[in-house]
């Protein structure tokens, strides 16, 4: 019968000499676990208060930091790489557009309402990236004068209600150039093949 012993091989250090195994290092939670959602929350807050004053920008930053942490367990992982310099430029552009469009919409509403030409405009989605499309819808709604109502992933369209326009194709081109293209660049999303028709519209909807 072979005798089994618990002695270590000759020359091997004992367990007591090695000491206890080091504890695993806890992973630090990122400050901005869902930056896309944080940006959307901040933009929505600025739109609700109708101001980009420093105190409201600070409130937007605090909400953008807190809300994703509170609902983080219900969210999908954030995109891997974000081009922060481009993201900052887009944020400044949206804040500027919010301020300018507030003045434009105020003039339209306080003027002759019968001259307004509201319309439904279908904006083709250039990417299937969920974060890009969700944030694009948030930006459109944040900007006064336009509201994104339906994101149709099956048809690759986002339906937008415009308070006043005489050129739906120009609205589509403006949304794609000012918001969608920068979002695609910020998140490094791939593009769909360009559709044959650039825009659809149902004009005259009150």
Residue 108 has pLDDT above 80, yes or no: yes
Q: Are residues 58 and 93 in the same domain?
A: no
Q: Are residues 109 and 194 in the same domain?
A: yes
Residue 205 has pLDDT above 50, yes or no: no
Residue 155's nearest CA partner among 189, 109, 198, 124 is 124
Q: What is the CATH number of the domain that holds 102?
A: 3.30.70
Evaluate whether residue 10 is within a structural domain. Answer: no
Residue 195 belongs to domain spanning: 84-206
Evaluate whether residue 77 is within a structural domain. Answer: no
Which range has highest mean pLDDT (5-14, 73-82, 177-186)? 177-186
Q: Are residues 55 and 154 in the same domain?
A: no
Report the share of the chain in percent with pLDDT over 70: 74
Q: Are residues 46 and 141 in the same domain?
A: no
User: What integer is the mean pLDDT of 144-154?
Assistant: 83
pLDDT of residue 13: 54
H-helix segments, the chain: 15-18, 35-49, 54-70, 84-110, 130-142, 168-175, 181-187
- Residue 186 to residue 157: CA distance in whole angstroms: 21
Residue 204 has pLDDT above 50, yes or no: no
Q: Please, is 183 exposed, middle or buried when counting C-beta atoms within 10 Å of its C-beta (0-12, 13-18, 19+)?
A: buried
Q: Are residues 39 and 96 in the same domain?
A: no
Count of CB atoms within 10 A of residue 39's CB? 23
Q: Are residues 52 and 105 in the same domain?
A: no
Count of CB atoms within 10 A of residue 200's CB? 16
Asked which of 4-18, 41-55, 60-74 is least confident by mean pLDDT, the reply is 4-18
Q: Are residues 161 and 100 in the same domain?
A: yes
Count of CB atoms within 10 A of residue 14's CB? 8
Number of domains in the chain: 2
Residue 198 has pLDDT above 50, yes or no: no
Give whole-number Cα distances, 51 to 97, 105, 138, 162, in Å. Answer: 12, 15, 17, 21
Residue 1 has pLDDT above 80, yes or no: no
User: What integer is the mean pLDDT of 123-146?
Assistant: 88
In this structure, what DSSP letter does residue 10 have?
T
User: What integer is the mean pLDDT of 51-65?
Assistant: 87
């Amino acid at each position: 019968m072979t005798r089994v012993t618990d002695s270590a091989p000759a020359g091997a250090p004992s367990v007591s000499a090695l000491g206890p195994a080091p504890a695993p290092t806890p992973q630090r939670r990122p400050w901005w676990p869902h930056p896309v959602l944080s940006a959307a929350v901040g933009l929505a807050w600025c739109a609700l208060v109708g101001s980009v004053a420093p105190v409201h920008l600070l409130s937007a930053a605090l909400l953008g930091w807190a809300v994703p942490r509170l609902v983080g367990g219900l969210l999908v992982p954030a995109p891997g790489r974000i081009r922060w310099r481009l993201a900052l430029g887009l944020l400044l552009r949206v804040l500027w557009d919010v301020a300018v469009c507030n003045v434009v919409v105020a003039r339209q509403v306080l003027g002759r309402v019968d001259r307004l030409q509201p319309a439904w405009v279908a904006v083709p989605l250039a990417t299937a990236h969920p974060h890009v499309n969700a944030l694009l819808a948030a930006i459109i709604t944040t900007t006064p004068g336009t509201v994104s109502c339906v994101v149709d992933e099956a048809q690759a369209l986002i339906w937008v209600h415009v308070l006043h326009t005489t050129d739906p194709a120009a609205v589509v081109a403006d949304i794609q150039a000012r918001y969608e293209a920068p979002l695609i660049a910020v998140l490094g999303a791939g593009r769909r093949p360009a559709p044959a028709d650039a825009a659809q519209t149902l004009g005259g909807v009150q």
